[in-house]
Amino acid sequence: MEFFAANRRGHEAGRPWELLRENPFNERTYGFLTSHRGDFSADDIARHVNMLYPDGLSPHGWGYMTIRFGSPLLQGGGCGLPNEPIMELIFEYVRRTDYADRPSRLQSFFAYDSLEKAKQEFPNTQIVRFVSEHHFRCDQTWLNVSHQIAVAEFNAHRYWSGDASSTPEWEFLITPPFVPEIVE
């Protein structure tokens, strides 16, 4: 199947998009795996991440795995914590528990099935095209943790089941590797 995605990280044309075993970001932008306590080290955290994701993480996965909650890159959530990292954590644990056959968001690239949708979602960004048979279609409208755990879990189950909301916004989780070509 043919897909279109934003090349937000400036990947070189013709080079495969793959999972990464090491953090691709600099410490100032996101951060490195760290320990805020004395009873475990950053290396312990790195081993834990490697145990959970031995094949590596996508740039999206590394971003959420290492971003600090106080980072200016995050918008504050209504409960005093940023919602996006919490959402990724809840959705990943629901996936691991009940939808283990689905690709992890932390190990996926995100794409659309039309050039027009990719351009609409990412104006003024280079768009790439590629073919992949390893994908999962999901409604990104469900990507919301609300202010109640019950709603967060409900949304996660709807997302991973592939159900449509009343106003679906379809995205595809693409499992790497694949080789994109620049479209625009």
Using the 8-state DSSP alphabet, how is residue 101 labeled?
T
At residue 152, the pLDDT reads 93
At residue 37, the pLDDT reads 64
Instruction: State the pTM of this model.
Output: 0.86
What token pair was written down for 107? Answer: 């190990």
Give the separation between CA 180 and CA 12, rounded to whole angstroms: 9
Using CB atoms within 10 Å of the CB of residue 164, give its burial: 0 to 12 exposed, 13 to 18 middle, 19+ buried: middle
Can you tell me the mean pLDDT for 50-67? 90
At residue 79, the pLDDT reads 45
Greatest Cα pair distance, the chain, in angstroms, is 51
**Domain residue extents for the chain:** 2-182
Q: Which residues of 34-68 are buried (b: 16+ CB within 10 A; e: fewer)?
A: eeeeeeeeeeebeeebeeebeebbbbbbbbbbbbb
Tens-place pLDDT, residues 79-109: 445 578 889 999 999 999 999 999 999 999 9
pLDDT-derived band at 33 (thresholds 50, 70, 90) equals low
